[in-house]
Amino acid sequence: MKKLLVSLTALFAFFGCQNKQTQDTVVNVPNQTVVFSFNGKVVNFDLDNKKVVWEYTSTQDGEGNRNKFDFDETTLYMPFESGKFVALDILTGKEKWMYEAGQIGMMDVAVDDTSGGFDTEAGSEPYFMGQPLQYQDKVYTVTTGGGSYPYFVILNKEDGTEFKAEGIETKFNMYQPVLCQENIFVNSAIYLNKYSLRGTPTSYGMYEGITFDSPLYTQMRSDDETLYFGEEDGKFYAIPFNQDGNVKGDNDDIMDPKNNFKDNLSIYKWRYQSKEYPRLATNFDSNTVLYGKTYVIHVRKSDSDAQALIGLNAKTGEEQWSYGSTEEIVNWHKSGEHLVGYTMTKVFVLDFQGKELATYPITEEFKPLTNIEETKDGQLVFLTIRGVTTIDKTSKQAKVLIAYETKEEYHNTAYIKYFKN
């Protein structure tokens, strides 16, 4: 695939997610399993027997793939930058269907192709650049357009056929769609779009056409009633919705130009911006986490490299705790009962109150290429250039659990998901 235009590289780097319906999904696997997506591949590893179970390769995505998969009880849903989208059996890696998105307009193509490849001329830009959302019998995803028109796309889970393709305002679509009050929300630069489950654009019960001041470059979260999201300039918001998917503000006049996201502040449950860390951190995932009554954000100072994870009360927006770092937090997320992340020099483990429980040094040989998962035994597992790697908590030394040579790509965001047996 041709390399991304330099002028867009920084913006496309802001992407990332995990929704309630995915968190509740139970996958029955015979052994402890980790699935990696990286370098245009998806690989299933058996941690108990220390072996590769299956490997799937998208031949036209060898330079890397900045997409992540979603999953249900039996299937992984994996997009690739080339415009290819596949459904893979979690246990066997068998391709259930393959959807090919056209580089100009949309094509309704889904075929059985166990070879893992198809012939198509790659566009000058990536086509998919995020993570899909599976819900009920559909898969929801957003394209960046591959140099052409971007779309909000719905696929049928059964066979991969295109159910709906709806044009979207911008190509800066690097985030997983979010489900809230049976509506699908998509953040596309300064636009916050809402769709019905069938893909129809729907109103907020507000005056239309007003956008946010800066791009919504964070992964949105939802507790089914309230939508949590942030702007590039460091402001974070919580908007509750009624059962119709409309805002709950005190102005229901859709003809009033002041009834918008900027002027009608009554629609917000809370708004927040850190005084010490007033800017959005620009790490590769732009991650946020919502668990229980806490919403965790990743922010930075405006005049230095110092960053922080801040835990907010999801109901009030009040700051509950802060975990600061003098260097960039490269990656972090919720795994098991902890928050696990790393900088260039250390891995850190936090409890849900932001307390640092442990740190482990990072060497160049065992530099993480993925997020870090915690197994049911409390083992930390991730991918390095040498393969599946774990950290011995006593010696604090990393070791290779399953040898599997790979390489770090500039245009690659490797991703790992752990499934317990």
* pLDDT values of the chain reduced to their tens digit, one per residue, 421 residues: 433 333 333 333 333 334 444 456 899 999 999 999 988 899 999 999 999 999 999 988 877 788 999 999 999 999 999 999 999 999 999 999 999 986 434 443 333 333 333 333 445 678 998 999 999 999 999 999 887 889 999 999 999 999 999 999 999 999 999 999 999 999 999 999 999 999 999 999 898 877 899 999 999 999 999 999 999 999 999 999 998 889 998 888 999 999 999 999 999 999 999 999 999 997 667 899 999 999 999 999 998 889 999 999 999 999 999 999 999 999 999 999 999 999 999 999 999 999 999 999 999 999 999 999 999 998 999 999 999 999 988 899 999 999 999 888 776 578 999 999 9
Amino acid 10: pLDDT: 38
Q: Other C-beta atoms within 10 Å of 19: how many?
A: 24
Amino acid 390: pLDDT: 97
Helix (H) or strand (E) holding 400: strand 398-403
Q: Which amino acid is at 199?
A: G
pLDDT tens for 112-143 read 333 333 333 445 678 998 999 999 999 999 99
Choose among 355, 349, 352, 356: nearest CA to 374: 349
Choose among 363, 364, 360, 365: nearest CA to 380: 360
Q: Other C-beta atoms within 10 Å of 271: how many?
A: 12
C-alpha dist (Å) from residue 246 to 145, 180, 249:
29, 11, 9
Amino acid 412: pLDDT: 59
C-alpha dist (Å) from residue 108 to 58, 81, 197:
19, 17, 19
On whether the CB atoms of residues 144 and 13 are closer than 8 A, the answer is no
On whether the CB atoms of residues 289 and 221 are closer than 8 A, the answer is yes
Amino acid 284: pLDDT: 64
Q: Is 264 helix (H, G, I), strand (E, B) or coil?
A: coil
Distance CA 142, CA 72 (A): 19
Amino acid 394: pLDDT: 87
Distance CA 32, CA 14 (A): 31
pTM for the complete prediction? 0.88
